[in-house]
Amino acid sequence: MTILDLIEILQLNKENNIFIPLPPGPHFEVSSKKIIFYEGLTLPEFYNSTKKGASDLVQYIRKNIGFVYDNDRELVKYFSVFKLLAAIDKASGNGNCESYDKYLETAKQYVTKINQTIKENYQTDDIQDMKDLICILLEDSLYRELFFHVQVFDYSKKRPCPNKKSKDYFFGNKRFHNELDKVHITIYNDYVELHHPIEGRSHARDLTPNNTLSLEQKIIVALDYWQTYFNN
């Protein structure tokens, strides 16, 4: 998700045109009556480039919104919303921009709206018949943020058939995902593998050659194995 996405979802530019988008790049600046930002700036990039000078805001969010301790993605959303609200006040010449208390309830409402928008735009067309999988994805806060690419090979990994084409399935947070939100799952008749670039490693599991698992079940196996790795 980018700063531009955030502004559009929350309709922050609806009443006063103070946001000025520029070509993509890591830049965000507040000046008199204007907030200048590069439209390709993602929330993680924004957070990483500004958190050093805003440690008090990070501490404030962690103190007043407890669950962000275990969820960096939610921390980044809250941080970005607080910074935008403060920037709007500063550009508009209104009030004390250093008082975070005045933004707390609005920030909670805005992050709720952001998460609801992500959920409403969650892409499941390629897996519309996989009801159990869709339920798992939509009930997990991490999965709702990710965009999945599943590549299926209808043969054994140990006995490849180069002439057989693979089949691709795409689902998840298609509209608002960032590059590091992409997850690739490779499935063979006897093998599943999940790769998430932010980890820099893969999670693979062999399946019995004569298994009768459906594609939906194999995807769930890959997700379960990934979760098990982090829970142990």
Same domain? For 33 and 112 the reply is yes
Same domain? For 111 and 145 the reply is no
Give, for all 232 residues of the chain, the pLDDT tens digit.
988 899 899 988 755 667 777 766 556 777 667 787 777 888 998 899 888 889 999 999 999 998 776 788 999 999 999 999 988 888 877 756 568 999 999 999 999 999 999 999 999 999 999 999 999 999 998 999 999 999 999 999 988 888 889 999 999 999 999 888 999 999 999 999 999 988 888 999 999 878 899 999 999 999 999 988 766 5
| Residue type present at position 18 | I
Same domain? For 26 and 91 the reply is yes
Same domain? For 106 and 146 the reply is no
pLDDT value for 198: 81
Same domain? For 37 and 22 the reply is yes
At which residue do the structure tokens 């690419």 appear?
Answer: 149
Q: Please give the tally of structural domains in the chain.
A: 2
Name the domain boundary from 120, 146, 161: 120
How far is the C-alpha of 125 from the C-alpha of 105, rounded, in Å?
35
How far is the C-alpha of 27 from the C-alpha of 5, rounded, in Å?
15
pLDDT value for 163: 84
